[in-house]
Amino acid sequence: MQNKLLCYKQYHKRNKHRIAPFCGLLLAALCGFTGCGTEHNEAVTSISFSQDDSTGQFAADDGHTITIGFAQVGEESDWRRTNSDSVRNTFTTDRGYNLLFEDAQNDPDAQVSAVSRFIQQGVDYIVLEPIVKTGWDKVLGDVQKAGIPVIVADRQLTLEDDSLYTAWVGSDPELEGDKVCAWLHALAEKRGLDESQFRIGIIQGTIGSSPQIGREKALREAASDYGWSIVGSERGEFTQAKGREAMDALLEKYPDLNIVYCDNDNEAYGAIEALEAAGKTIGTDINNGEIMIVAFDAAKKALSYVRKGLIACDGECNPFLGPEIEKVILALEEGKSVEKIRYVDEGIYAGNQEIHSVIVDGKTYPVTQVTQDLLEKRVY
């Protein structure tokens, strides 16, 4: 997906009444120098922001309230609840916002209906964290006709026309998967393990979601590269209860598996429950019968499990998207252009310093050892 830019004058004419006079002059100057018109390749240069740039005072200072419709996936995990809190804590009434929150409860049809309601309610912006990647063309076409900018967050979309949304903010699930798989490979090399003996069971997140697709793609490519065996997969739906059911099913079908690849932390919690109930030993010594668990999200609870050795490696998925989404909205409010794609920073965590860093596509990523001090300072 290209790093396309959108010009406010071209896309967001209906909000001119919000822009302070100096912003209007800035917009005129930018458009005069860059030829901001109907051609996408004439868009102005993107503006980058630091964390402190998002003040939330633009709407509050001029007394105008910005109404935002937020279509959330649900509350299936600790990550999702923290993510929802990040948005709620960012778009508050005292900061000049009216947030309309819709919990789709993991129902794609309900989420589409929520977006349709936002059109009827005449919101100024729609923030969409899609349950699945497909099936959005029609309703987002309706949103575009209504002149409402859409900021997609967390999960990505597959669309025939990418102009149906203004910007996307979130993680790179495939890169997250690449880093965890690189850690597995590095551990094998460090210990002299025979990677052909890796027998991996997958506990999948919601099928068709971008985290499930990206993380599983990374695993299957790594398995092909390193000779790993993926014995099977079961659906965990990103929840602890389903994660336990999936682990029970995997153990019954593939009793000789030695690695469990969980699409999120909550599934890992369920897998740990199932393995302990079955009398299995969890750890990284797979040559001596231990079963290794790797996961994603890096919630504080999960990192405590990493420190205990119950999760061997955890790829971070950053839930604090509220301030990043606000940066996009404030830029549009001020007539600035925005980056089409905006990735957030994320790390990778392990219980010891056996592997100091991993390399993905020629870039080195440090592996952070989980210490008690780190846990005490961790917010999420």
Cα 347 from Cα 164, distance rounded (Å):
31
Q: What is the pLDDT of residue 61?
A: 56
3-state helix, strand, coil split of the chain in percent (to 5) is 45, 20, 35
Is pLDDT at 47 greater than 60 in this prediction?
no
Give me the numbers of helices (H) and strands (E) for the chain, helices first please: 13, 16
**Angle at the Cα of 376 (from 370 to 378), degrees rounded to 5?**
75
Mean pLDDT, residues 280-307: 97
Handedness of CA 237, 107, 207, 73 (dihedral sign): negative
* DSSP assignment string, 105-135: TT-HHHHHHHHHHHHHHT-SEEEE--SSSSS
Phi, psi of 270 (to 5 degrees): -65, -40
Mean pLDDT, residues 135-146: 98
Mean pLDDT, residues 340-358: 95
- Domain boundaries in the chain? 5-171+319-343, 173-317+347-377
- Domain 173-317+347-377 in the same topology as domain 5-171+319-343: yes
Give the pLDDT band of residue 46 (cuts 50, 70, 90).
very low
CATH code of the domain occupying 173-317+347-377 = 3.40.50.2300
Cα 328 from Cα 48, distance rounded (Å):
10
**Strands 259-262, 66-72: pairing kind:** unpaired
CB–CB of 285/97 below 8 Å? no
The pLDDT tens digits for 93-138 are: 999 999 999 999 999 999 999 999 999 999 999 999 999 999 999 9
Chain-centre distance of CA 349, in angstroms?
17
Q: What is the pLDDT of residue 338?
A: 96
CB–CB of 73/131 below 8 Å? yes
Q: What is the pLDDT of residue 22?
A: 33
Mean pLDDT, residues 57-80: 82
Cα 267 from Cα 234, distance rounded (Å):
11
Query: pTM of the predicted model, to two decimals?
Result: 0.77
Cα 251 from Cα 71, distance rounded (Å):
36
Cα 212 from Cα 201, distance rounded (Å):
14
Is pLDDT at 35 greater than 70 in this prediction?
no
For residue 259, the surrounding DSSP H or E stretch is strand 259-262
| Three-class DSSP category at 293 | strand
Is pLDDT at 28 greater than 80 in this prediction?
no
Mean pLDDT, residues 84-94: 97
Give the pLDDT band of residue 15 (cuts 50, 70, 90).
very low
In the 8-state DSSP scheme, what is residue 344?
P
Give the pLDDT band of residue 372 (cuts 50, 70, 90).
very high
Is pLDDT at 201 greater than 80 in this prediction?
yes
Mean pLDDT of the chain: 86
Q: What is the pLDDT of residue 63?
A: 67
Mean pLDDT, residues 352-375: 97
CB–CB of 294/180 below 8 Å? yes
Give the CATH architecture of domain 5-171+319-343.
Answer: 3-Layer(aba) Sandwich (3.40)
Structure tokens given for 35 = 């030829």
Q: 103 vs 31, 210, 272, CA distance in Å?
A: 39, 19, 29
Residue keyed to tokens 């499990």: 305
Q: What is the pLDDT of residue 1?
A: 37
